[in-house]
Amino acid sequence: MATTTVRAAGLQGSRLYDYLTTTDHKKIGILYTISSFIFLAIGGLLALGVRTELAQPGLQYMDESVYNQLFTMHASVMIFWVIIPFLAGIGNYIVPLQIGAADMAFPRINALSFWMIPFSGLIAASGFFLGGAADAGWTAYPPLSNITYSPGPGMNLWIMAVILVGTSSILGAVNFLVTVFRMRAPGMTLFRMPIMVWTIIVTSVLVLMGTPVLTSALIMLFVDRNFGGSFFDPTTGGSAILWQNIFWFYSHPAVYIMVLPGMGVISEIIPVFSRKPLFGYKAFVFATAGIGALGFSVWAHHMFTTGSVFLPFFSVMTFLIAVPTGVKMFNWIATMWQGQISLKTPMLFALGFLSMFLIGGINGVFSASVPVDYAVHATYWIVAHIHYVLFGGSFLAIMAGLYYWFPKMTGKMLDEGLGKLHFAIAMIGLNLTFLPMHTLGLLGMPRRIADYSPTAGWNDLNLAATVGGFLVGISTLPLFWNIYISLRNGKDAGPDPWEGNTLEWATSSPPPAWNFDRLPAITSERPLFDARHGRSGSDHA
Amino acid sequence: MSLATTEHGTPEAVSGHGSSAHGAEGHGKKGLGNPVLGMLLFIVSEIMFFGGLFAAYFSLRVSAGTWPPEGNEAFLIKEHILFPSILTLLLVISSLTCQIAVWRIRRGDRIGMNRALMLTVILGVVFLIGQVYEYSQLGFGVADGTFGGTFYILTGFHGAHVLGGVLMLGVCLYRGSLGQFSAKHHDMVEASSIYWHFVDVVWIFLFALLYLV
Amino acid sequence: MRKPAALIALLAVALVLGGCQAAFPPSAVTEEGLLIENLYVLVFVMAAFVFVLVEGLIIWSVIKYRRKPNDAGLPAQTHGNLVLEVIWTVIPLVAVIGLFFASSQVLGVVDARKPEEVSVKVEVVGYQWQWKFGYPAEGIEIYGTAQNYPELVVPIDERIEVTLVAQDVNHGFYIPEFLFQRDLVPGKVNYFEFTPNKLGTFTGQCSAFCGLLHHAMGFTVRVVTREEYDAWLVEMTPEPAPSESPVAVEADLTAEVKEWSVSLSGASTAAGDVTFGLTNAGNIPHEFIVVRSELSGEELLNQIDPATSRLDEEALDAIGEQSEFSPGEIKTLTLSLEPGRYVVLCNIAGHFGSGMYADLEITAN
| Chosen from A178, A227, A503 to mutate, greatest number of chain B CBs within 10 A | A178
Q: pLDDT category, C305, cuts 50, 70, 90?
A: confident
pLDDT score, position C304: 87
Per-residue pLDDT of A469-489, as tens digits, reads 999 999 999 999 999 999 999
pLDDT score, position A185: 96
Nearest to A75 by CA among A55, A54, A46, A53: A46
Q: Is A412 on the interface with B (CB under 8 A)?
A: yes
Cα Dmax for chain C: 108
pLDDT score, position C71: 86
Per-residue pLDDT of B128-150, as tens digits, reads 999 999 999 998 999 999 999 99
Helix residue ranges per DSSP H, A15-106 = 15-21, 25-54, 64-76, 84-98
Q: Please say if the pLDDT value at position A37 is more than 60.
A: yes
Compare CB distances from A365 to C11, C43, C84 and report the shortest one's residue: C43
d(CA A132, nearest CA chain C) in Å: 6
d(CA C213, nearest CA chain A) in Å: 7
Q: Is residue A374 within 8 Å of C36, Cβ to Cβ? A: yes
Kind plus residue range of the DSSP H or E element containing A107: helix A107-126
Please judge whether A209 and B48 are an interchain contact, meaning their C-beta atoms are less than 8 angstroms apart.
Answer: yes
Per-residue pLDDT of B152-205, as tens digits, reads 999 999 999 999 999 999 999 999 999 999 999 999 999 999 999 999 999 999
β-pairing, C253-258 vs C272-280, is parallel
- Cα angle C306, C309, C314; round to 5: 95
Per-residue pLDDT of A41-81, as tens digits, reads 999 999 999 999 999 999 999 999 999 999 999 999 999 99
Kind plus residue range of the DSSP H or E element containing C317: strand C317-325
CA A360 to chain centroid, in Å, comes to 15
Q: Is residue A234 within 8 Å of C187, Cβ to Cβ? A: yes
Distance from C-alpha of A70 to C-alpha of A48, rounded to nearest angstrom: 9
Distance from C-alpha of A139 to C-alpha of A143, rounded to nearest angstrom: 12
Q: pLDDT category, B72, cuts 50, 70, 90?
A: confident
Please judge whether A106 and B142 are an interchain contact, meaning their C-beta atoms are less than 8 angstroms apart.
Answer: no
Chains contacting A (3 or more CB pairs within 8 Å): B, C
At A514, the amino acid letter reads: W
pLDDT score, position A1: 43
CA distances A208 to A161, A168, A174, A254, C302, Å, are 18, 11, 7, 11, 43
Q: Is residue C250 within 8 Å of C275, Cβ to Cβ? A: yes
d(CA A159, nearest CA chain B) in Å: 16
Please judge whether C213 and A64 are an interchain contact, meaning their C-beta atoms are less than 8 angstroms apart.
Answer: yes
Please enumerate in sequence order all residues whose Cβ is within 8 A of that of A240, keeping only pairs 6 or more positions apart, or say none.
Answer: A141, A142, A143, A232, A234, C170, C185, C186, C187, C188
Tell me the chain C residues in contact with residue A379 when contact means C-beta distances shorter than 8 Å: 174, 207
Distance from C-alpha of A159 to C-alpha of A215, rounded to nearest angstrom: 9
Tell me the chain B residues in contact with residue A216 when contact means C-beta distances shorter than 8 Å: 49-53, 56
- Cα angle A430, A434, A436; round to 5: 130
Give the SS3 label for residue C213. Answer: coil
| Chosen from A3, A213, A225 to mutate, greatest number of chain B CBs within 10 A | A213
Closest-CA residue of chain A to C49: A362
Tell me the chain A residues in contact with residue C36 when contact means C-beta distances shorter than 8 Å: 371-372, 374-375
Per-residue pLDDT of C239-290, as tens digits, reads 666 555 555 557 889 999 988 899 999 999 999 999 999 999 988 889 999 9
Nearest to A31 by CA among A119, A111, A101, A107: A111
Per residue, the 3-state secondary structure of A444-468, as one string, reads CCECCCCCCCCCCCCHHHHHHHHHH
Nearest to B113 by CA among B181, B58, B52, B165: B181
Per-residue pLDDT of A252-309, as tens digits, reads 999 999 999 999 999 999 999 999 999 999 999 999 999 999 999 999 999 999 999 9
Q: pLDDT category, A26, cuts 50, 70, 90?
A: very high
Quote the mean pLDDT of chain B.
86
pLDDT score, position B80: 87
Tell me the chain A residues in contact with residue B38 when contact means C-beta distances shorter than 8 Å: 105-106, 174-175, 178
Distance from C-alpha of B56 to C-alpha of B70, rounded to nearest angstrom: 20
pLDDT score, position C9: 67
Please judge whether A374 and C181 are an interchain contact, meaning their C-beta atoms are less than 8 angstroms apart.
Answer: yes
Distance from C-alpha of C188 to C-alpha of C181, rounded to nearest angstrom: 16
pLDDT score, position B73: 86
Q: Is A106 on the interface with B (CB under 8 A)?
A: yes
* Dihedral angle sign, alpha carbons of residues C109, C110, C111, C115: positive
Q: Is residue C361 within 8 Å of C267, Cβ to Cβ? A: yes
β-pairing, C140-143 vs C180-184, is unpaired
pLDDT score, position A414: 97
Please judge whether B142 and A228 are an interchain contact, meaning their C-beta atoms are less than 8 angstroms apart.
Answer: yes
Q: pLDDT category, C183, cuts 50, 70, 90?
A: very high
Nearest to A138 by CA among A115, A155, A116: A155
Q: Please say if the pLDDT value at position B30 is more than 70.
A: no
pLDDT score, position B70: 86
Please enumerate in sequence order all residues whose Cβ is within 8 A of that of A419, keeping only pairs 6 or more positions apart, or say none.
Answer: A344, A345, A348, A403, A478, A479, A482
Q: Measured between alpha carbons, how far apart are the two ends of chain C, in Å?
A: 90
Top-confidence residue, B113 or B27: B113
Distance from C-alpha of A385 to C-alpha of A370, rounded to nearest angstrom: 16
Compare CB distances from A431 to C3, C11, C180 and report the shortest one's residue: C11
Please judge whether C4 and A348 are an interchain contact, meaning their C-beta atoms are less than 8 angstroms apart.
Answer: yes
Q: pLDDT category, B13, cuts 50, 70, 90?
A: very low
β-pairing, C189-194 vs C151-155, is unpaired
pLDDT score, position B6: 38
pLDDT score, position C241: 60
Q: pLDDT category, B213, cuts 50, 70, 90?
A: confident
Cα Dmax for chain B: 75
Q: pLDDT category, A5, cuts 50, 70, 90?
A: low
Per-residue pLDDT of A373-404, as tens digits, reads 999 999 999 999 999 999 999 999 999 999 99
Q: Is residue B157 within 8 Å of B163, Cβ to Cβ? A: no
Which DSSP letter does residue B75 get? G
Q: pLDDT category, A365, cuts 50, 70, 90?
A: very high
Quote the mean pLDDT of chain A.
95
Per residue, the 3-state secondary structure of A345-380, as one string, reads HHHHHHHHHHHHHHHHHHHHHHHHCHHHHHHHCCEH
Report the b/e string of C277-299 with b at 16+ CB within 10 A: bbbbebbbbbbbbbbbbeeebee
Q: Is A306 on the interface with C (CB under 8 A)?
A: yes
Q: B125: buried, middle or exposed (CB in 10 Å: 19+, 13-18, 0-12)? A: middle
Tell me the chain A residues in contact with residue C71 when contact means C-beta distances shorter than 8 Å: 340
Average pLDDT, stretch A190-197?
A: 97
pLDDT score, position C115: 94
Q: Is residue C362 within 8 Å of C267, Cβ to Cβ? A: no
Q: pLDDT category, C16, cuts 50, 70, 90?
A: low
Q: Please say if the pLDDT value at position B5 is more than 80.
A: no
d(CA A212, nearest CA chain B) in Å: 4
Average pLDDT, stretch A421-449?
A: 97
At A286, the amino acid letter reads: F
Q: pLDDT category, A227, cuts 50, 70, 90?
A: very high
Per-residue pLDDT of B54-65, as tens digits, reads 999 999 999 998
Q: Is residue A372 within 8 Å of C39, Cβ to Cβ? A: yes
Q: Which residues does residue C182 pair with via DSSP β-bridges, in sequence order?
A: C173
Q: Is A230 on the interface with B (CB under 8 A)?
A: yes
Quote the mean pLDDT of chain C.
90
Top-confidence residue, C240 or B81: B81
Average pLDDT, stretch C21-41?
A: 95
Nearest to B117 by CA among B70, B173, B79: B173
Nearest to C230 by CA among C135, C164, C141, C149: C135
pLDDT score, position C259: 84
Q: Is residue C279 within 8 Å of C304, Cβ to Cβ? A: no
Residue-wise DSSP of A297-363: T-GGGG-GGGS-S-HHHHHHHHHHTHHHHHHHHHHHHHHHTTS-B---HHHHHHHHHHHHHHHHHHH
Compare CB distances from B42 to A174, A237, A245 and report the shortest one's residue: A174
Count helices and strands in chain B by DSSP H and E runs: 5, 0
pLDDT score, position B15: 37
Nearest to B55 by CA among A208, A414, C306, A215: A215
CB contact residues (below 8 A), chain A span 59-98, against chain C: 63-66, 68
Q: Is residue A207 within 8 Å of B40, Cβ to Cβ? A: no
Distance from C-alpha of A284 to C-alpha of A278, rounded to nearest angstrom: 9
Q: Is residue A242 within 8 Å of B53, Cβ to Cβ? A: no
Q: Please say if the pLDDT value at position A7 is more than 70.
A: no
d(CA A221, nearest CA chain C) in Å: 15
pLDDT score, position C260: 84
Please judge whether A541 and C81 are an interchain contact, meaning their C-beta atoms are less than 8 angstroms apart.
Answer: yes
Q: Is A269 on the interface with B (CB under 8 A)?
A: no
Please judge whether A141 and C170 are an interchain contact, meaning their C-beta atoms are less than 8 angstroms apart.
Answer: yes
Please enumerate in sequence order all residues whose Cβ is within 8 A of that of A216, keeping only pairs 6 or more positions apart, or say none.
Answer: A246, B49, B50, B51, B52, B53, B56
Distance from C-alpha of A505 to C-alpha of A494, rounded to nearest angstrom: 9
β strands within chain C, DSSP E = 118-127, 130-135, 140-143, 151-155, 159-166, 171-175, 180-184, 189-194, 200-206, 218-224, 253-258, 261-264, 268-270, 272-280, 286-292, 317-325, 330-337, 340-345, 357-363
Q: Is residue C279 within 8 Å of C254, Cβ to Cβ? A: yes
Average pLDDT, stretch A15-19?
A: 89
Compare CB distances from A237 to B2, B38, B60 and report the shortest one's residue: B60
d(CA A167, nearest CA chain C) in Å: 28
Distance from C-alpha of C131 to C-alpha of C143, rounded to nearest angstrom: 6
Q: Is residue A4 within 8 Å of B8, Cβ to Cβ? A: no
Q: What is the pTM of this model?
A: 0.87
Strand C272-280: give its sheet, edge to edge: C261-264, C253-258, C272-280, C330-337
β-pairing, C218-224 vs C151-155, is parallel
Chains contacting B (3 or more CB pairs within 8 Å): A
Q: pLDDT category, B29, cuts 50, 70, 90?
A: very low
Give the SS3 label for residue B74. Answer: helix
Nearest to A352 by CA among C85, C22, C3: C3
Distance from C-alpha of A34 to C-alpha of A386, rounded to nearest angstrom: 24
Count helices and strands in chain C by DSSP H and E runs: 5, 19
- Residue A46's Cβ-side half-sphere holds a number of Cα atoms within 13 Å equal to 23
Kind plus residue range of the DSSP H or E element containing C319: strand C317-325
Distance from C-alpha of C54 to C-alpha of A93, rounded to nearest angstrom: 33
Tell me the chain B residues in contact with residue A246 when contact means C-beta distances shorter than 8 Å: 52, 55-56
CB contact residues (below 8 A), chain A span 202-221, against chain C: none
CA distances A187 to A99, A179, A505, C61, Å, are 10, 16, 17, 34
